[in-house]
Amino acid sequence: MAPHYGIHLRGGVITERDIDLCTVRVRVPAGNLTVEQMRGLATISKRYGSGFAHFTGRQAVEIPHVNPKNLVRITKALAKNGTPLGSERDEVVNIVACPGKERCKFGMIDTIALAKKLDERLFGKDMPVKMRISISGCPNACTSPMLNEIGIIGRVKPKRIPGLCTGCGTCAEYCKECAISIRNGVSVLDEEKCVQCGVCIQSCPFHLLKSEHSHYLVMVGGRRGRHPRTGRTLIALEEEEKVVDAVERIIAWVYRRAWSGRLLSDQLDDLHFDGFRNEIMGELQQ
């Protein structure tokens, strides 16, 4: 039983209501699987589980009804399949991402590439609190990044070329925030209402709206659950590597300073979040 004991304590192994069985959670960064990996998971589920799989809200895959005696075998089979054991406890869990600009017409950033980088560097790291990371390619926020311990949102700031707008009103028609109006034959943006989604840029039939810059908005301290809370804005960055750097700094900050037994969202003030934000902004916004 000794070899099984250590595996059973890992976050990817979840004891079921029937305590004689467990569910095995699989690591699937950004929810992406090859056809071969899906076939492999089907075979593994049939051999060691009950023949079906469950897709979680965090884009991971679970194989239910596994006999704990088979944990060593199923763990080895999952690793060989390129879909290793996942995580669920106080650690960096499966990183969630929408399709981003690879496939979605609203995507502003390469969410999949970013998710893979963060997964390679941070997945499974032991933490005093559970760390969920969610990435959305645009402010539509399909992956609810603002409700995660770390949320990343792709945004774009629109830029108008003075003197060229025809006043056709297409951008105003497409803006869901009612942030654009036509005055004296030209479009005018209310920056207080604008969420920087970039729809107006795509909608302009004459390509007179441009992107001043696309960037990543990084948020910290959100949560779901019975008492959901929106995370706080940390920083806006234009370069992917700086985003990775910022996330690694957040993880290191939480690892050093946070207490176990409390959600991160309840600790931000005690951890002097504002001071941390000022430090990050001074070092990364250069």
Spell out the per-residue pLDDT of the chain, length 286, in tens.
334 447 776 789 999 999 999 999 999 999 999 999 999 999 999 999 999 999 999 999 999 999 999 999 999 999 999 999 999 899 999 999 999 999 999 999 999 999 999 999 999 999 999 999 999 999 999 999 999 999 999 999 998 887 888 899 999 999 999 999 999 888 999 999 999 999 999 999 988 888 888 899 999 999 999 999 999 999 999 999 999 999 999 999 999 999 999 999 999 999 999 999 999 998 887 6
Residues 6+ apart with CB under 8 A from 259: 128, 129, 267
pLDDT score recorded for residue 285:
74
Q: Are 166 and 206 in contact (CB under 8 A)?
A: yes
5, burial (CB in 10 Å: exposed 0-12, middle 13-18, buried 19+) = exposed
Element (H, E) at 209: strand 209-220
Per the CB < 8 A criterion, the answer to whether 90 and 130 are in contact is yes
**Element holding 117 (H helix, E strand):** helix 111-122
For 179, 182, 277, the CA distances from 190, given in Å and listed in that order, are 5, 11, 27
Whole-number pLDDT of residue 284: 87
| pLDDT of res. 286 | 63
Domains of the chain: 2-80 (3.30.70.3340), 96-284 (3.30.413.10)
Residue 234 is predicted with a pLDDT of 97
C-beta separation of 284 from 246 below 8 A: yes
Degrees (nearest 5) of the Cα angle 84, 95, 53?
A: 50
pLDDT at position 154 is: 97
